[in-house]
Amino acid sequence: MGSIMIDSKLLVLAGPTAVGKGTVVRRILEITENVVLSVSATTRAPRAGETDGQSYFFLSDQEFDELIAKGEMLEFATVHGTHRYGTPKQPVLAALSDGKNVLLEIDIQGARQVKAHMPEAVTVFLAPPSWEELVRRLEGRGTEQPDEMRRRLETAKQELQSQGEFDHIVINEDVAKCALSVVDLLSA
Ligand code: 5GP
């Protein structure tokens, strides 16, 4: 009976610290059209080179609370025990109804919430080739102090245990191949 097939997808990409989510996302955006990356809101301060409204919407705690109270967050979570991050709902729904695929690069708690609210979302866990490789990547990045590194690895250990909850697990061995595997899921 003449129902309209809308095949735009909400793709949720999550994975432990230092697995290379950012690099894979950039690659996905390079090799695809019709995929938009959702801009998250956060209460953390901007880093050098980050632009408000592009990297994140940088909000005060109060502004963040207001968005939650108004029901305007699709999901939100406190990440690495420090700051809050969340996905503004309206831009995601608008892009989807516009026929675009939407990519969320969020943490695992957020991925769970999205899947609970929108079961049609496709969730992808980006996994490292091995635990040793994950540690190597985190150390190689050299952006975290030893304490913060320990905290992130502790979180990563727990996160790796939750990969079974995801619709797909993609191993980030090679960025180009990994991005292609994720993009393939959009046409599946
Ligand atoms: P960073 O502070 O390094 O930019 O991001 C830290 C972590 O926050 C990343 O692991 C990223 O996946 C997560 N994150 C970024 N945006 C969101 C969001 O909108 N929601 C959730 N739940 N996590 C997010």
What tokens were used for 16? 């432990």
d(CA 33, CA 81) in angstroms, rounded, equals 35
Closest alpha carbon to 30 in 154, 179, 133, 143: 179
Residue 12 Cα to ligand 1 middle (Å): 12
Residue 1 Cα to ligand 1 middle (Å): 42
- Does ligand 1 come within 6 angstroms of the Cβ of 64? no
**Which pLDDT belongs to residue 2?**
42
Write down the H helix ranges in the chain: 21-31, 61-69, 89-97, 108-117, 131-141, 146-161, 175-187
- Does ligand 1 come within 6 angstroms of the Cβ of 182? no
The per-residue pLDDT for range 96-147, each reduced to its tens digit, is 999 999 999 999 999 999 999 999 999 999 999 999 999 999 999 888 889 8
Residue to mutate, 37, 40, 64, 92, ligand 1, most ligand atoms under 8 Å from C-beta: 40
Measured in whole angstroms, the distance separating CA 51 from the mean position of its chain's CA atoms is 18
Residue to mutate, 39, 89, 107, ligand 1, most ligand atoms under 8 Å from C-beta: 107
Whether residue 11 contacts residue 122, with contact meaning beta carbons closer than 8 Å, is answered with yes
- Does ligand 1 come within 6 angstroms of the Cβ of 12? no
Domains of the chain: 10-187 (3.40.50.300)
**Which pLDDT belongs to residue 174?**
97
- Amino acid making up residue 53: G
The per-residue pLDDT for range 4-62, each reduced to its tens digit, is 456 899 999 999 989 999 999 999 999 999 999 999 999 999 998 999 999 999 999 99
Residue 59 Cα to ligand 1 middle (Å): 14
Of how many residues is the chain composed? 188
For 103, other C-beta atoms within 10 Å of its C-beta total 24
Residue 82 pLDDT more than 70? yes
What tokens were used for 65? 């609370």
Whether residue 8 contacts residue 163, with contact meaning beta carbons closer than 8 Å, is answered with no
pTM of the model: 0.93
